Structures are given as C-alpha cells and as structure tokens.
Structure 1
C-alpha cells in the first residue's frame, strides 16, 4: 500500500464515520528509547519491579455511581437519600457488617474470596471539578484541580524509565480515541476497531512475528508508526503464524470484545519465541467501558454496566492465568468522578465527587481499603469529602509495581497504598 493510498483510505473512513485504529498516535513524542539487543531481551540489572509487571487500566467513562457500586448498606442515610434507586438489602452482596456490593457484581465474588480484589474507597481529589472533560483531564495528567499539565501520567512515567525497545509499544488503548494517560509522549497504539483497520490496510497476513509486511517497507521513514503497529495488529486479530488460541471464553458485548482483543495481544507476545515474559508486548493497556453518566433511570442501566465490568474482569483473570501472567498484572479502575449522594427526580444521580475503585491481580492485598463513606458528613453541595487522593493509587503503581520515583512523575509526594504483595 502506498502512503497516499493509506491516507486516502483513512480520509474516506473518517468521512464515513467509521471507527478505526488511528496510527498517528504511535509515534514516540520526546521519550528516549533504551539501547537494548534486537532480540528484545531485558538487561540483567532490571529487577522484579519493571515493565514485565503489566498495568491494565479500565476507565468507567461518564462518572460511576460509587454508592450503588460499593454500598454502605448499614448507614440508614443511604436509604433516606436513595428511596427509589437504593439497592434493597435482600439483593445486595454483603462483604462485611457495613459494606456490600451491587448484585450485578456477583461474578467478582471468587476474586474477592481469593483475596485478589482490593476495593479502595473514598477516592477523589481536592477542589473537585464536575465537568466531564476537565475532571478526566485531571485524572489522566495526575494534576491538581488548579494545574494544567500537557503530558499524561503514564507518558511521564515512560520518560523517567523508557519501556524496553523489544516491546511493540509503550501502551495499547482499546475502544477510545482519547489519549488520556498516554498523551504527549507515550508510544501508543489505538485499537478502536482493529479488525476493520486490518482488513482495510491488508496488514493481516500469514507471516511470522518478526516479518514486516513488505507492502509497508517503502513508507518506513514517513509512517514508521504503521510499520511498528503491524505485528500488533496481526497479534490482535489472531493472524500470528503458530499462535495458540486462548481457551478462555469471553463474555458477549463490546466490553467483552475489548477484553478479548487485549488478551490476544498479550497472548501472542507471551508466546513469541526467544522473548521474555512480556515478549513483544506493552507496559500498559487501557480499556474503556462507556455509559456511566446515569442522570436518569439509572437502576437498570447501571446494573448492566456493572455486570459487563465484572464478567469482563473475570474473563481477563482467566486469560491471564492461562498465559501465566496473572501474578505480573495489576488491573485498576478509574473514572472522572462519582455521583451525588442523593438521587435526583429522574431516578438517577448527578455529578458528584468521590467513588470507590477496584484493584485486582495475583499480588494484590485483597479487602477493603481507603475511607468508607459517611453519609451524614456531606458537604454543602451534598457530596462526600475526599478520603484518598487518586494520585496515591498512581504512586502505588509507580513505586510498588514498577519501582519508579512517584514524586518525579506526579510532581508532588504521595505515599503508596498497602495494596500489593511485592
């Protein structure tokens, strides 16, 4: 494919409104690469806490209602504030004498019982901004509410310690065109619709892992991002020669398909001959589950979203166990904000402040962490106060999971949370 043909194809797809993988985001922006052997082998000096420890972020886009996700059912104020949308006591899943899960999260109970699921309560930031756009920007850049940063927090992490050259990319984003934590620095692949792009660009060919698509040789200097992405596109679509099929069954629906794509990328790299644990893989993956802006008729919609999340996370664990990677993977949810404590007249919830978040993995210290909500201590706007700054969760990833200095990335000092066995 000639470069002008590729650009014409992209233009046509864009004009038609087609969702596709956007390769321009793949170019490294300012982060130096490490000088390593072509085989992708890791230097002996790297210890356990490096990018062989994979991070998977799951964005709950729209602002998840934390009080109906992790429920303070023993607090009488919960049912006073939520007469219509509160989860009935006979339906909820009790975790202890104070706290329960939404019944749609039933699939997560084996993970909870195995002590591989941590729930961090009260997560947010000071002076919260209730605009979707600005608040997710704060989360993605790890900034203060009054601070505007250009780079995503993962981009700054990869600048501090570059991802090894043997990796196919710093990160992969699935089902989102927004760069988020990878903005302005990370070498990232966006897989909005990997199958469509693979068909249109003819990147899916029965070639070995290290063999480039000959049609792309002549655009190497100008479109290096496309060339580098080609192996990952083949991996994601199962076209890698000799690639074993995962036995894990993934749930139906868009989020299940996203999890399946992410696991296929990892599986292909995991089985690449002569490569270490992460293979021609990535350091971080971000998945997006849309639809959490539940201003009206929340109950059924929220239940369906939480069921997708739970089933997707459990299939993710099954695939990672199958690949032998569960102990080297940390899964973390995030969302731009929580919802208001009191239900609104439309049987929904409006933009609020803090929310609980899930952290899962084979080396996670399961259980309840953070600060549980006290519904008699709402602020003047009817919102919960912050108990845990979200950057403490990021500090945990940076220091405890990857062995980086969080103060360099976060530009302030934040303590790690006791979420991991390391």
Structure 2
C-alpha cells in the first residue's frame, strides 16, 4: 500500500477503481494476489493462436527511471540526486538505456524480444489516478458507454464459450475488461471452482445445474456459463505448480500473478487476453531513491525478473504470447525534495515477446529542467495497443478504439 498519495490509496483499495460489476458470470470476479490482480478473458476452449498479456503498473511508474534518456542533459539537471549515471545503464544506445536493476530482461532484449516505446500516454494530461485509469482503459473519449477496450477486443471474436463469463470471488473487473462481453477471474488457478462444491459428492454442482438449467434471463445464462467454465478450466488446474524450464519469478505478488498467467496459457483452454494489475509501490512521491537505496531498485528488479521468468516458464508457448506494460501516467521530470517525483504525463511502454521488433521507439520531445515540466506525449498509447491487437490478434482497430486513427509505431510484426 502506498502511503504518499491519498487518492491512489483509495483507488488501490478498489473503493473507486473497479466500480460495480455484473452478477454471476456477467461481470468478473477478481483474483487477489495481495496487491496484484489477475483477470483472464477467454475466447473458446480451443487453443488460442496468439495471446495478449496486459500488465498494468498501477500508481504511475516513472518511465524516465525505467528507460533513461541519458543523452538529454535536462534529465541530469532536473534530477541531481536520483538520476542514474550513464555508465551504469543497460542495453545502452546513443540516447537511451535501461535501469541497472532490469538485468534479468537482458537475454530477452539481446534476442530482440523487447521494445521500449517512450513518450507515450494519454493525449491530454490527466494527473488523477482514478480519472486517468478510467480514461486509459475506456479508450473511447466522449462515449457514455462504460465499455473497456479489452471488452471491445473480446467482442471481435465470433466464439461464445462460457469461459468468457465466469465470476468467482470479487465481481469487480478492471475498467478495460468491463462491458457486455463475459470475462472470468480467479483467486488462483487451483481455486477456480463452484463455491461449496468441495465434499467430493458433486451434489452442489448437480443442484446448481437443476436450479439454473432452464432459468431465463441474465442470471440463468450466467449461472450456466459459470458451471461450464469451471469444468472446462480443468486443464489449467492440472498443470504443474512448479515453473517450467528453471524459470524464476520475483517472490512477490507480481511474480505469483505472472506465474498463474503462465499456467493458464500452458493449460491451453483458449485464453486470448490476460490482464495483470500490479499495484505495489509505483506511486513514488517519496523515496524513489538512488542506485544505493530506494523503492525503484526493487520494483525495477521485480518487474524484469517476473517478465523474464514468465517467458522462460512458457517454453514453446512463448512463441504466441505478447506482453505489453502500461501505467496511467508518468511522473514529473524534476525530482522533489523527498527523493521522489510527483504526477506527470508521458511515460514508457514495454512490448515483450512474440512479434516484437526489439529496440527503442518513439519521438523524443526533449525535457525541461522545471518543477512543473512533464515528459510530453508524442505517441498516443492507443497507437501502441492498436499495433498489437491488429498485427497479433487480427482485430479491427476501429472497433477496439472507436474514432481513433493510430500512427505507425513499428515495434510489432504481423502474426
């Protein structure tokens, strides 16, 4: 839990972020891994050709620490205490370099499987965690319909398998998944089951079938979908609990969530979209720190370790999985008096895995050494996401991002 930003503290407790959800398979139940939530959307029980993993870094990660613009002199002038020395950076080119704690991702980077797109974000600055998250995940400015972009993406699929509509636990999908299409969440891949059906007799499941088999309306449809989905999730529950191929995850909520996501993909039940929310400590108004101490060291290392472990764990399945990171906004260019950074605008997005053309991308706007200066946005975040959903998932950009004309980013190749 963050102690430096009251608004984000309220959001991360789901008091505002999630909103009302559907009932019994119409919405989604939320998997809780401490501060991390895994939500999975299914297209069918057949094998998915390609899988999108959306990793949200809740709290506004500082992209200027994760991918450092070492050739911009304003970066060092604005951050006299917390700037990362140029000679310590990883994967360094003539302008950018990765935070030194992200060394676990170097094998993926060197293999050309990691792209970093800088100066991305909302077209207009929004410094409210709650409002920015909603705007980012609706991705449909001006619309009165409360439908997230991932829900619209799911709606492009012609399949109607009930695993699109199971709700167990907290029925509170993230905004990106919210809408008329069914989604499913679970506290863990081993605990996706009918509540109370643990006595080995099957009576609870039988009674549920009897009660809901001919029930009309939304509740009846949702209940039937939930029962079928639980049964069809069995291949995931049967996957080995231990990571494959010697994979190592960070020992935290993010690592556990990405491990669960890997098991879901290896279970091969047709998952096409997996959203993982990581809310632990990215809102660094205080104590972002240096290379000797501070919160960014641990967060950057955990992020890199878990992403690397995820793709190692997937083995041959990695060839169909593309992961993208996103955060609601970036942070100010200039450090504050508490070795931290206040709310800003532009940020960096990582794209990792299948179909990625590795390297640094984006149009650099230049930085200013001013207390109120932001990293300006030169690439709308929807252009990055659009390139993935069109080239990897074969979806319509116009349907997923209504009214938006994406620009070419160049970091993603067609499937």
TM-score in terms of structure 2 length:
0.77
Mapping of 1:181-330 within 5 angstroms? 181-193=176-188, 198=193, 201-202=196-197, 214=206, 216-221=208-213, 222=220, 223-231=223-231, 234-236=234-236, 238-239=237-238, 246-248=243-245, 249-251=247-249, 252-269=251-268, 280-290=269-279, 291-299=281-289, 300-320=294-314, 322=315, 324-330=316-322
In structure 2, distance between residues paired with 1:128 and 1:166:
39
In structure 1, distance between residues paired with 2:261 and 2:121:
28
1:4 matched residue in structure 2: none
In structure 2, distance between residues paired with 1:346 and 1:94:
29
**1:127 Cα deviation from its structure 2 partner:** 1.9
For the pair 1:122 / 2:119, whether they are aligned, the reply is: yes
Structure 2, unaligned runs of 5 or more: 1-20, 29-42, 214-219
CA RMSD of aligned residues (A): 3.4
Are the equivalent residues in 2 in contact too, given 1:77–1:376 (CA < 8 A)? Answer: yes
Are the equivalent residues in 2 in contact too, given 1:171–1:182 (CA < 8 A)? Answer: no
For the pair 1:396 / 2:392, whether they are aligned, the reply is: no
Are the equivalent residues in 1 in contact too, given 2:311–2:318 (CA < 8 A)? Answer: yes
In structure 2, distance between residues paired with 1:312 and 1:204:
36
In structure 1, distance between residues paired with 2:407 and 2:168:
28
Structure 1, unaligned runs of 5 or more: 1-21, 30-35, 43-50, 270-279
Mapping of 1:293-372 within 5 angstroms? 293-299=283-289, 300-320=294-314, 322=315, 324-372=316-364
- Cα distance change, pair 196–266 in 1 and its aligned pair in 2 (3 A): closer
1:101 matched residue in structure 2: 98
Are the equivalent residues in 1 in contact too, given 2:149–2:400 (CA < 8 A)? Answer: yes
**Further displaced range: 396-405 or 282-291:** 396-405
SS in 1 for 2:88: coil
- Cα distance change, pair 233–302 in 1 and its aligned pair in 2 (3 A): farther
**1:185 Cα deviation from its structure 2 partner:** 2.2
Are the equivalent residues in 1 in contact too, given 2:163–2:225 (CA < 8 A)? Answer: no
Are the equivalent residues in 2 in contact too, given 1:203–1:213 (CA < 8 A)? Answer: no
**1:347 Cα deviation from its structure 2 partner:** 1.0
SS in 2 for 1:123: strand
- Cα distance change, pair 167–70 in 1 and its aligned pair in 2 (3 A): farther
In structure 1, distance between residues paired with 2:139 and 2:95:
31
**Alignment length, in residue pairs?**
363
Are the equivalent residues in 2 in contact too, given 1:24–1:225 (CA < 8 A)? Answer: no
**Further displaced range: 347-356 or 324-333:** 324-333
Are the equivalent residues in 2 in contact too, given 1:163–1:283 (CA < 8 A)? Answer: no
